[in-house]
């Protein structure tokens, strides 16, 4: 009996360390892939995990949202078929604009408007909100790209870890030390080595960035007013960002430009990277038919299912027909124009097992839109890339890849058959690109802790220590002018200029009296 008494705490130990964790995924595509991996890894580590998954967003063709066996639970939510059909039709139109090189901030604000509408409906769903509140989660892990995730956790009263699916220069309000002389501002498309004009451009974008963030928050502010009992936070999105216990970023210094970090930031880039598994026999036979020429992988993003601009498609197909490699292209075959033939070396597939394909010994190149996941997988498997950026952070991402020597970039509006085929051959035949890819791969793989375990350990640290207050510096609580020392600068200027102004006033007054006496 005594032995059983002493063994009970040891048997109960895993339960004591288990936590109830909510993961929030309100955007489909690659955002879902990352949150799915995070949720599964936390479950495998002994935690009770449930994902709030919004259905109906543009999804990856060929990918099912079916539950994994022996994994986390889900609570799904949807706006209904009518809205989903309208929303996906709108997004399809946006794809066309991206391919025509018409990505702009107004389009991004329109996208945020859709997310805000969806957020309003979600927070107004009493059944879903009541269910989540009743669960009493210990912590939430949310997609920090979508402001709705922050508003939701405020309504639930749950502490949260912010997971950002991109690079460090995205959410500027978390107050990372970011000297603009060498750290590019989001959307500036600059590297960390800037000339005079580059630094001038970076300064200009540094003034625009907070304005853009305020415009985004203005779209969500009314939603917060309607659904939060305490009303929207006084500092807006800044307060929501700085309320996170921890920030985790889908990046690492194999691709990221070196810069200062804070204790509340952790880099977990490469969550989807794994050793390659054998391919299906049919696919393996197709690859082997190209011999030593190998094959290239083409994917323009989880949400771009086809090329809806005929002149661009014609040039891409003609360019691919000129190369000896096989071209494995993620493309919805139902969208392929009936009047257009496909070259024999081009194969269309609904779903690409990108990790397994890039890990294949005959993978020669990855043609990508510049999504963070595909770039990190190319780094992991040491495959050079050709970037064709379309929207959002992809332009900044491909600048990083090109600066690191991983590949080259072509804008979609600049693609011709000659340029495409010549660039592909350069990337495959010039050994410098493969050499850089191998070097970056060594850097990425040599980290002592894997990205998934790194994130789990930090989440557990937050849980065991009662929060991330000890990681947050006092600067997060300071007004911006104190953080920049402008108040002290003002006092110093007044102290230095004050006596000068007094002397100048006295001298002017004396000169005035002297002139007055002479006149008399």
Torsional sign, CA 12, 16, 20, 23: negative
Residues 135, 218: contact at Cβ < 8 Å?
A: no
Q: What CATH architecture applies to the domain 281-445? A: 3-Layer(aba) Sandwich (3.40)
Mean of pLDDT values over 378-401: 96
Q: Which long-range contacts (CB under 8 A, 24 or more apart) does 318-322 make?
A: 318/417, 319/415, 319/416, 319/417, 319/418, 319/419, 319/420, 319/421, 319/424, 320/345, 320/346, 320/420, 320/421, 321/345, 321/346, 322/417, 322/421
Instruction: Give the pLDDT score at 262.
Output: 92
pLDDT: which is higher, 3 or 455: 455
Whether the per-residue pLDDT at 31 is higher than 50: the answer is yes
Mean of pLDDT values over 248-258: 95
Q: Which residue has the tokens 């194999």?
A: 254
Residues 366, 383: contact at Cβ < 8 Å?
A: yes
Mean of pLDDT values over 205-218: 92
Instruction: Give the pLDDT score at 385.
Output: 98
Instruction: Give the pLDDT score at 510.
Output: 64
Distance of alpha carbon 277 from alpha carbon 353, whole angstroms: 9
SS3 content of the chain, % helix, strand, coil (to 5): 50, 10, 35
Class of domain 12-272+450-477: alpha beta
Q: Is there a shared CATH topology between the 12-272+450-477 domain and the 281-445 domain?
A: yes
Task: Identify the band that residue 474 occupies on the pLDDT scale cut at 50, 70 and 90.
Answer: confident
Report pLDDT digits (tens) over 43-60.
999 999 999 999 877 655
Instruction: Give the pLDDT score at 513.
Output: 63
Instruction: Give the pLDDT score at 15.
Output: 42
* N- to C-terminal Cα separation, the chain: 116
Q: For residue 169, give both structure tokens.
A: 């220069």
Whether the per-residue pLDDT at 61 is higher than 60: the answer is no
Whether the per-residue pLDDT at 8 is higher than 70: the answer is no
pLDDT: which is higher, 519 or 243: 243
Instruction: Give the pLDDT score at 499.
Output: 80
Instruction: Give the pLDDT score at 56.
Output: 78
Report pLDDT digits (tens) over 418-435.
999 999 999 999 999 999
Distance of alpha carbon 287 from alpha carbon 359, whole angstroms: 13
Mean of pLDDT values over 82-102: 87
Instruction: Give the pLDDT score at 301.
Output: 81
Q: How many CA atoms lie within 13 A of 497 on its CB side?
A: 6
Report pLDDT digits (tens) over 271-312.
999 999 999 999 999 999 999 999 999 998 876 778 888 899
Q: HEC states along 69-104?
A: CCCCEEEEECCCHHHHHHHHHHHHHHHHHHHCCCCC
Mean of pLDDT values over 196-216: 93
Domain spans of the chain?
A: 12-272+450-477, 281-445
pLDDT: which is higher, 446 or 517: 446
Instruction: Give the pLDDT score at 485.
Output: 81
Least confident of 227-241, 246-260, 298-312, 451-465: 298-312
Whether the per-residue pLDDT at 14 is higher than 70: the answer is no
Whether the per-residue pLDDT at 9 is higher than 70: the answer is no
Task: Identify the band that residue 268 occupies on the pLDDT scale cut at 50, 70 and 90.
Answer: very high
Whether the per-residue pLDDT at 3 is higher than 60: the answer is no
Whether the per-residue pLDDT at 202 is higher than 70: the answer is yes
Instruction: Give the pLDDT score at 193.
Output: 95
Task: Identify the band that residue 69 occupies on the pLDDT scale cut at 50, 70 and 90.
Answer: low
Average pLDDT value for the chain: 89
């Amino acid at each position: 009996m005594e032995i059983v008494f002493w063994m009970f705490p040891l048997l109960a130990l895993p339960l004591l360390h288990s936590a109830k964790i909510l993961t929030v995924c309100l955007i489909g595509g690659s955002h879902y892939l990352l949150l799915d991996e995070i949720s599964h890894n936390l479950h495998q580590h002994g935690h009770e995990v449930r994902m709030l998954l919004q259905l109906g967003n543009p999804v990856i063709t060929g990918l099912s949202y079916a539950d994994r066996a022996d994994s986390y639970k889900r609570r799904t939510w949807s706006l209904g078929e009518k809205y989903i059909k309208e929303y996906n039709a709108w997004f399809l139109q946006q794809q066309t604009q991206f391919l025509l090189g018409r990505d702009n901030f107004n389009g991004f604000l329109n996208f945020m408007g859709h997310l805000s509408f969806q957020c309003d409906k979600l927070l107004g769903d009493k059944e879903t909100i009541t269910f989540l509140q009743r669960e009493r989660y210990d912590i939430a892990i949310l997609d920090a790209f979508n402001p709705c995730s922050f508003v939701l956790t405020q309504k639930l009263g749950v502490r949260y870890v912010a997971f950002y699916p991109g690079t460090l220069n995205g959410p500027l309000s978390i107050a990372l030390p970011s000297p603009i002389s060498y750290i590019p501002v989001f959307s500036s498309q600059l590297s960390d080595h800037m000339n005079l004009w580059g630094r001038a451009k970076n300064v200009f974008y540094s003034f625009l960035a907070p304005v853009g963030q305020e415009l985004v928050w203005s779209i969500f502010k009314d939603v917060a007013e309607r659904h939060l009992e305490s009303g929207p936070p006084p500092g807006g999105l800044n307060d929501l960002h700085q309320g996170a216990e921890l920030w985790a970023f889908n990046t690492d210094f194999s691709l990221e430009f070196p810069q200062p970090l804070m204790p509340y930031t952790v880099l977990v880039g490469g969550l989807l990277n794994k050793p390659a598994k054998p391919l299906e026999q049919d696919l393996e036979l197709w690859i082997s038919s190209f011999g030593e020429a190998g094959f290239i992988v083409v994917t323009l993003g989880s949400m771009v299912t086809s090329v809806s601009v005929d002149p661009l498609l014609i040039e891409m197909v003609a360019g691919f027909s000129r190369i000896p490699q096989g071209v494995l292209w993620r493309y919805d075959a139902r969208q392929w124009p009936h009047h257009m033939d496909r070259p024999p070396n081009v194969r269309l597939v609904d779903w690409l097992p990108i990790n397994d394909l890039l890990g294949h010994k005959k993978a020669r190149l990855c043609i990508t839109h510049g999504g963070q996941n595909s770039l990190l997988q190319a780094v992991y498997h040491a495959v050079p890339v050709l970037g064709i950026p379309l929207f959002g952070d992809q332009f900044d991402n491909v600048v990083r890849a090109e600066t690191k020597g991983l590949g080259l970039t072509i804008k979609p509006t600049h693609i011709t058959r000659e340029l495409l085929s010549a660039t592909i051959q350069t990337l495959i035949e010039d050994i410098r690109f493969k050499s850089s890819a191998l070097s970056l791969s060594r850097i990425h793989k040599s980290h002592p802790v894997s990205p998934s375990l790194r994130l789990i350990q930090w989440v557990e640290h937050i849980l065991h220590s009662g929060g991330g207050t000890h990681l947050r510096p006092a600067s997060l609580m300071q007004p911006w002018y104190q953080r920049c020392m402008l108040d002290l600068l003002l006092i110093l200027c007044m102290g230095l200029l004050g006596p000068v102004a007094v002397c100048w006033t006295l001298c002017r007054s004396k000169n005035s009296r002297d002139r007055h006496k002479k006149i008399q």
